């Protein structure tokens, strides 16, 4: 089959890496892709937020299957356009992607499904939001209702910080995403990411991971898209996984189907776990980045079979075969990330890095410039390794990373600390 992957980050490189190993994959395309993906797939400059343009590309290249990586094409309804054109697609339509694009939608869904989550209130008026914060006290969590590229959330430990977040959101810092604000109860505990494939009917758990959102060692510094991850997450014990499926995933997915918007794709549940009890922090309608890198390294080629079966509504015929292994990824980011970065600094040494089934340097934001590999964004590389133990995976990942010669980058030195 001919496959098109939408996106161009480390997540999409990992998806391409898994697909390329599967003998069912004939031609592999990626839009827009990046310099690492270009070694496995034909990269194409298609506007991935324009459904008509994607459909046209699929027709021209005889694409049989589209895998949507990031949330923005989902929010733009590209999966709906592809399905309307009869092209098999992995990823939910716009209506079901509201699980990620609207915090209010998810909160109401949880209420209808009886799924445990933080108490919340929604405000479109700054004065009422401030009064609510004054009444509830801190710590408290202030969120933009809409998509804000992972930057619309403030976990406020002081009232001043909470009020500043209200000012920023209603002041327009986050555009229309901040027109409505959700204020939530602060949930203490340990976070984990829980992934499930859903074909509208059958659910297939696809592993767990933990990421590191803060930019600096010791979980300090600003929030980022994720500086590293590992899988599995030890905090998600068998008992926690069972409760998560029974109390959160199954009832929420049943409620989506009942409403006439069954969910198809990967559901990423962000959990807060305390004393063995999970509560839902958020849903995302896609794989996490960099969590996808560790999941794909562990799953390998079978990932394509699972995603394909999911899109075709055949998940009941599948199962995921897990080795008793661990994977860990370390993100190398451009100096300055998550704020403005200088693009274009040269990266050397990757040729010498081993590319075995156990270690892969996924590219998150790279391109070739005058024969030289350069970084193009904030997150640039995702150095990923697998091992029998988490310690082994970590040692391998940092061993490979040491061979990368990139003075313009920085990375955390403590990925996995919580589990080791």
Contacting residues toward ligand GLY, per CB under 6 A: 150, 211, 225-226, 284, 288-289, 291
Q: How far is the CB of 207 from ligand GLY (least distance, A)?
A: 14
Chosen from ligand GLY, ligand AMP, none, partner binding at 288 (C-beta under 5 to 8 Å by type): ligand GLY
> Would you give the binding string for ligand AMP spanning residues 199-218, x where CB under 6 A is met?
--------------x-----
Chosen from ligand AMP, ligand GLY, none, partner binding at 311 (C-beta under 5 to 8 Å by type): none
Residue (266 or 347) nearer to ligand GLY, CB: 266
Q: Identify the residue among 141, 196, 309, 373 touching ligand AMP (CB under 6 A).
A: 141
The token duo for 265 is 């794709």
String of DSSP letters for 158-198: SHHHHHHHHHHHHTTTTGGGGSSEEEEEPPPSEEEEEEEEE
Residue (100 or 184) nearer to ligand GLY, CB: 100
Report yes or no: 198 and 265 within 8 Å, Cβ to Cβ.
yes
357-385 residues labelled b (16+ CB within 10 A) or e (exposed)? ebbbbbbbbbbeeeeebbbbbbbbbbbbb
Q: How far is the CB of 139 from ligand AMP (least distance, A)?
A: 8
Chosen from ligand GLY, ligand AMP, none, partner binding at 141 (C-beta under 5 to 8 Å by type): ligand AMP
Report yes or no: 19 and 311 within 8 Å, Cβ to Cβ.
no
With vertex at residue 49, the alpha carbon angle to CA 18 and CA 124, rounded to the nearest 5 degrees, is 115
Q: How far is the CB of 195 from ligand AMP (least distance, A)?
A: 15
The token duo for 2 is 């001919």
Q: How far is the CB of 325 from ligand AMP (least distance, A)?
A: 26
Q: Identify the residue among 12, 71, 100, 282 touching ligand AMP (CB under 6 A).
A: 282
String of DSSP letters for 274-324: ETTEEEEEEEESS--TTHHHHHHHHHTTHHHHHHHHHHTT-GGG------S
For position 270 contacting ligand AMP by CB under 6 A, the verdict is yes
Q: Identify the residue among 64, 179, 190, 191 touching ligand AMP (CB under 6 A).
A: 191
Tell me which DSSP letter residue 95 carries: T
Residue (329 or 341) nearer to ligand GLY, CB: 329
CA distances from 414 to 220, 221, 346, 387, 410 (A): 11, 14, 25, 17, 13
CB neighbour class for 414 (10 Å; exposed up to 12, middle 13-18, buried from 19): middle
The token duo for 92 is 């939910």
Residue (30 or 249) nearer to ligand AMP, CB: 249
Chosen from ligand AMP, ligand GLY, none, partner binding at 155 (C-beta under 5 to 8 Å by type): ligand AMP
Closest CA to 150 of 72, 74, 95, 228: 72
The token duo for 196 is 């499930």
Residue (105 or 398) nearer to ligand AMP, CB: 105
Count of positions on this chain that bind ligand AMP (CB under 6 A): 15
Helix (H) or strand (E) holding 157: none
Rounded to a whole number of angstroms, the distance between the first and last alpha carbons of the chain is: 41
Chosen from ligand AMP, ligand GLY, none, partner binding at 212 (C-beta under 5 to 8 Å by type): none
**Which of the stretches 179-187, 297-305, 369-377, 393-401 binds ligand AMP when contact is defined by CB under 6 A?**
179-187
Binding site for ligand AMP (CB under 6 A): 118, 141, 143, 150, 153, 155, 184-187, 191, 213, 270, 281-282
């Amino acid at each position: 089959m001919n496959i098109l992957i939408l996106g161009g980050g480390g997540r999409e490189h990992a998806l391409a890496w898994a697909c390329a190993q599967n003998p069912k994959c004939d031609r592999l395309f990626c839009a827009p892709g990046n310099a690492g993906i270009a070694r496995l797939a034909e990269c194409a400059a298609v506007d991935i937020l324009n459904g008509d343009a994607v459909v046209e590309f699929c027709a021209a290249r005889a694409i049989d299957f589209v895998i949507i990586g990031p949330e923005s094409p989902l929010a733009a309804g590209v999966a709906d356009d592809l399905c309307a054109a009869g092209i098999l697609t992995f990823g939910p339509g716009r209506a079901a992607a509201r699980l990620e694009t609207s915090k209010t939608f998810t909160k109401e869904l949880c209420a209808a499904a009886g799924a445990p989550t933080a108490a919340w209130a929604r405000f479109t008026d700054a004065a009422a939001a401030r009064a609510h914060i004054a009444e509830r006290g801190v710590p408290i969590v202030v969120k933009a209702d809409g998509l804000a590229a992972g930057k619309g959330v403030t976990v406020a430990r002081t009232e001043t910080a909470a009020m500043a977040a209200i000012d920023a959101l209603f002041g327009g810092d986050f555009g229309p995403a901040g027109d409505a604000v959700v204020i939530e109860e602060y949930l203490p505990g340990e976070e984990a990411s829980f992934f499930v494939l859903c074909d509208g009917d059958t659910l297939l758990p696809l592993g767990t991971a933990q990421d590191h959102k803060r930019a600096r060692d010791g979980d300090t510094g600003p929030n980022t898209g994720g500086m590293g991850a590992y899988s599995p997450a030890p905090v998600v014990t068998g008992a926690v996984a069972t409760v998560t499926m029974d109390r959160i995933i199954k009832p929420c997915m049943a409620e989506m189907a009942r409403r006439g918007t069954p969910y198809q794709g990967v559901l990423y549940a962000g959990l807060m776990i305390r004393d063995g009890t999970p509560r839902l922090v958020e849903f995302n309608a896609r794989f996490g980045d960099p969590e996808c890198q560790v999941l794909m390294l562990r799953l390998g080629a079978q990932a394509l079979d699972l995603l394909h079966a999911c899109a075709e509504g055949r998940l009941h015929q599948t199962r995921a075969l897990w080795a008793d292994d661990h994977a860990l990824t370390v993100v190398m980011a451009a100096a300055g990330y998550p704020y403005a970065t200088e693009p274009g600094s040269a990266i050397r040494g990757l040729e010498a890095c081993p590319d075995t089934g156990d270690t892969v340097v996924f590219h998150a934001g790279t391109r070739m410039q005058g024969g030289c590999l350069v970084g193009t964004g904030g997150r640039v590389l995702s150095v990923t390794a697998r091992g029998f133990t988490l310690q082994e995976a970590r040692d391998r990942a940092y061993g490979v990373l040491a061979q990368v010669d990139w003075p313009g980058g920085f990375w955390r030195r403590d990925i996995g600390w919580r589990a080791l």
